[in-house]
Amino acid sequence: MSHALRPGLKACGWFTLKRQKIAQSTAKFWIFVLYPFHQKEVDFLIAPPSAILDLLTSVHGQRSAFQSYIWVTKDKRCWETRGLSREDQLLVSKGSYQNPARDLSTYLNNWSPIHAALKA
């Protein structure tokens, strides 16, 4: 990763996800752990498998496996960045990137669905 990107990024993760595993998952939620570069606060991406598959399919098409880059910015935004141009990567890092199809921010550290599921 370029040093030019790091000032605005808190954490990055690289995941290999298989379409069949996501589609056949019986889990209500998948949780991705994103370790920070320097801070001690770990971030979590908490999403239903169907939402993950929908996002990956809309961004990357009908692949049997996805290479996913999940980035967390210091301004608490979360993005699927695999395949972005260098210019768009810089926009993510600077907090000015906009693309709802790649935005995972609603799932970032959102434990409320887990709490609700535990109460049910």
Mean pLDDT of 89-96: 95
Supply the pLDDT for residue 40.
82
pTM: 0.91
Residue 116 reports pLDDT greater than 80 = yes
pLDDT over threshold 90, residue 86? yes
- pLDDT band, very low/low/confident/very high, at 5 (cuts 50, 70, 90): confident
pLDDT the model gives residue 101: 97
Domain locations in the chain as residue ranges: 6-119
Q: Are 92 and 71 in contact (CB under 8 A)?
A: yes
Q: How confident is the model at residue 2 (pLDDT cuts 50, 70, 90)?
A: low
In this prediction, residue 11 carries a pLDDT of: 93
Give the Cβ contact number of residue 101 at 10 Å.
9
Q: DSSP string of 11-72? A: EEEEEEEEHHHHHH---S-EEEEE-BSS-S--EEEEE-HHHHHHHHHHHH-S-SEEEEEEEE
pLDDT at residue 1, rounded to an integer: 58
**pLDDT, tens digit, for every residue of 15-73?**
999 999 999 999 999 999 999 987 788 999 999 999 999 999 999 999 999 999 999 99
